[in-house]
Structure 1
Amino acid sequence: MRRMAVFCFPALAGILAVPIAVANHDIDQRPGPPPHSCRMGMDMQQGEHRMSGMQMGGMRMAGMPILGEFRALPAEIDSESNPITPAKVELGRLLYFERRLSASGQLSCNSCHDLASYGVDHQPTSLGHKNQRGTRNSPTVYNAAGHFAQFWDGRAATIEDQAKGPILNPVEMAMPSEKAAVAAIRAVPEYVARFEAAFPGETDPVTFDNIANAIGAFERKLVTPSRWDRFLEGDGNALTAEERAGFQWFMHSGCASCHSGTFVGGNSYQRLGEAVPYPERSDLGRFQVTRQASDRMVFKVPSLRNVEMTAPYFHNGKVATLEEAVTRMARYQLGVELLPDEKRVIVAWLKTLTGELPAEYISEPKALPGD
């Protein structure tokens, strides 16, 4: 039998209309429907072992699929509206770890987005002010500056906008107002001097917007290059045969319809349960922002960079392992039941997205003296 791989990847549709031999099966690749109505067609007999006899030495590899819109990470993710400067980055690092930006004086950005733990807290949902639990899993801050929107529901356009939210959220850091947050920072004399250096020419640089701008500038430096980037830059030895097979199967299964680009995701919204209704439907996703019926169960597609290190998974943090996450995505988004070997090689490739943490930024700096 032949497996029909249906792509929902407009940029690749024209150039992928050729068969590629993978794991001793010929796969016809044809243009598919638009991304928001992605479907995967299967023409396989139930129980056929699609990856049968898969030996890395004997696998027929007819070259890698066209890489298309996949790109290596930049050294930093700059912004015209908030240019990166050394003074701004160092100030942002201090503010990222600053507990005085919380009502209790006990929480910081790093509490939920731990830089030493790949930017997450490994909790289904995070503990916040007075031990309240949030309703959604805390996504990693690494590489997030390049995403097209922030939060699971996309309610913030940039990381600078995003940085303001947790500070004022009564369940998270719970500062009562922007004015209170600014007052807490202004009470520290060295902060005032650092804001003046980071935002030269401003009459009164210690503002809530500039708190967010400094944190954003710091986060724009938080990129994690990986073996996948080395491969994209031309190092053919960066990936093993098994990992290359995993990328092929990732493409052939239709995963790239949502997870593509520099960040392997983070660049679109998709409905959870596109092919098969998702069983947990209490969180309506982007509908809570737009109130548009078409946005029910729609979420921002997360980046898969560092996915190996950022469990648990999904918007509610209810999926504990990467293997289960792959199984669920194939089932509910693509209508595919992956066989064990297919899942194994996909997971092997996903692990090549695990990057190097920026050592100069992950340790907590000494807090500035003040009230």
Structure 2
Amino acid sequence: MRLLFALAAASSALAASLQQISGWGSGPAGVSMFVYAPDRLATNPAIVVATHPCGGSAQQMYSSTRLPSLADQHGFVLVYPQTTRYSNCWDVFSPGALTHGGGSDPGAIVSMVSHALSRYGGDASRVHVVGVSSGAMLANVLAGAYPDVFEAAASFSGVPAACFAGAPAATPMSPNQTCAQAQGPIVKTAREWGNFARNMYPGYPGRRTRMQIWHGTADTLVVFAHLAEQLKQWSDVLGVSLTREVAGVPASQYRQYVYGDGTLLQGYRGEGVGHTVPVFEQQLLEFFGILGTAGGPITPAPGPSQTLWGQCGGNGWNGPTTCVTTARCTTQNAWYAQCVPR
């Protein structure tokens, strides 16, 4: 019996968890690096960067998807950047952020990727980024400014790269909401949007970041029109055109837009879905090339209560609004409420 308890304790001690990392490099004040590295890493593992929304955190992003359990199964590394600047929103507006090698939040995340590749023996050809809301805006910026770093990116409720160029900030309280909420919406041609992305890294001759873009039609915080604007931008950058639309993928209220053969650019429209589009992990990891397609589409498992540290409310939130019994739902700001310990 004692041996069983000892083995159980040892197993628990070895279990992977979200860890803050020091010594990863430099970045703006308030930007930090967290990592989930499974106990059993694949040889030369893929690196997936997951960027949180406004008002969010590394812990919130870690708790909001099934990516950690899938990392346990498939041996990839998850990097969770965190910012406490601009109400925990990312810099997607400054000249530095919108320029390759210009520093700010994008430059800090590139440093985190470099550190993760070295620390975990990662595969530099399999570095991906997925972002939600402000994190999705950042994913678009990283794809534009650092195509040499990110092989693929996924945007859930984001805006085109450089949409916030020239704005004083990119938070819901910013005085200039022309981009996110379409006060006289920013609508450009595919070539104009494409030039914005290309101008982030002038003269870059290499391959471009593949893109998967998701948006809900009922989004009032970052309006649905940005699905079309993002697809225009990346269809121009990647040189592909819409070839087909597929209803019911990956769930009944969604429509998939396939560009070319679907390997470079995909779009997803969520009918009646608000600002918080669920992360469909299987479709995401299939697009990243981490999973095969044999398993077929799955939908995120619904649940009556949110887990500890998960999101439980906020503008546009359409997920659980109650917490597990050990937590309570606390409003952090107008667009984010979180389940915190009682």
Q: Which of the two has greater strand per residue?
A: 2
Normalization by structure 2: what TM-score?
0.25
Greater relative contact order, per chain length (Cα 8 Å cut-off, separation 6+):
1
Larger radius of gyration: 1
Q: Which of the two has greater helix per residue?
A: 1
